[in-house]
Structure 1
Amino acid sequence: MSLNLNSVFARRLYLCWLLDNEQKPNVPKLMEMTGWPRRTLQDVLKALPGMGVELEFVQQGIRNNDGYYQISGWGPLDPQWIGRHREQLLDAIEHG
Structure 2
Amino acid sequence: MGLNSVFARRLYICWLLKNEQRPNVPKLMVLTGWPRRTLQDVLKALPGMGVELEFIQQGVRNNDGYYQLIDWGPLDAKWIDLNREQILNTITQG
State the TM-score bracket (shorter-chain normalisation).
Answer: over 0.9
Identify which of 6, 9, 12 aligns with 1:11. 9
Deviation of the 1:4 alpha carbon: 1.9
Look up the match of 1:59.
57
Contact 1:4 1:92 in 2 (8 A): no
Alignment length (residue pairs): 94
Identity over aligned residues, as a percent?
77
What value does the CA root-mean-square deviation take over the aligned residues?
A: 0.5
Aligned partner (choices 29, 49, 61) of residue 27 of structure 2: 29
Counterpart CA distance in 2 for 1:79 and 1:59 is: 25
- Counterpart CA distance in 2 for 1:44 and 1:67 is 18
Question: Match for residue 85 of structure 1?
Answer: 83
Give the match's secondary structure for 2:60. Answer: coil
1:52-83 superposed Cα distances (whole Å, 9 cap, x missing partner): 00010000111010000011111111111101
CA distance in 2, matches of 1:80, 1:4: 18
Gaps of at least 5 residues in structure 2 are: none
Superposition deviation, residue 8 in structure 1 = 0.2
> Which aligned segments of 4 or more residues in structure 1 are displaced greater than 4 angstroms?
none
CA contact (8 A) 1:25 1:68 kept: yes
TM-score, structure 2 normalization? 0.98
Letter in 2 for 1:74: W
Residue 18 of structure 1: how far off its partner (Å): 0.2
CA distance in 1, matches of 2:70, 2:2: 28
